[in-house]
Amino acid sequence: NAGVTQTPKFQVLKTGQSMTLQCAQDMNHEYMSWYRQDPGMGLRLIHYSVGAGITDQGEVPNGYNVSRSTTEDFPLRLLSAAPSQTSVYFCASSYSSARPGELFFGEGSRLTVL
């Protein structure tokens, strides 16, 4: 099993550019989420989805869009990149609504915005 797959692993953008971070899981998990990890800040939730067609905002949603058209895919879109969005981004999935903290994480996407 591939688990949770994120692409790209590394990306450099200029301020104002847009891009999409891809996330796919092959475990038939209902729940998917995006986190960003910054030094001294820990993991912060950006957006999450409890199933296809349903998304909701997390702690730091501004500047990001998501959609969930299939169970497998949960892309994260940066609309107009800013240096403050330089971070490591993790996609995660979970199989049980009863255990929302039991997450399977991807390997991360390191984004630098110049």
Partner 1 sequence: TQLLEQSPQFLSIQEGENLTVYCNSSSVFSSLQWYRQEPGEGPVLLVTVVTGGEVKKLKRLTFQFGDARKDSSLHITAAQPGDTGLYLCAGAKGGSQGNLIFGKGTKLSVKP
Instruction: For residue 81, give the amino acid letter.
Output: A
Nearest partner of 27 among 52, 59, 2, judged by Cα: 2
Residue 36 near partner 1 by CB under 8 A: no
Residue 102 binding partner 1, by CB under 8 A: yes
Distance (Å, rounded) from C-alpha 78 to C-alpha 2?
A: 25
Residue among 26, 53, 69, 99 that touches partner 1 (CB under 8 A): 99
Using the rule CB under 8 A, is 33 a contact of partner 1? yes
Our finding on whether 2 is near partner 1 (CB under 8 A) is no
| 82 touches 76 (CB < 8 A) | no
What does the per-residue mask of binding to partner 1 show for 58-97, with x meaning CB under 8 A? x-------------------------------x-x-x--x
Residue 84 DSSP label: G
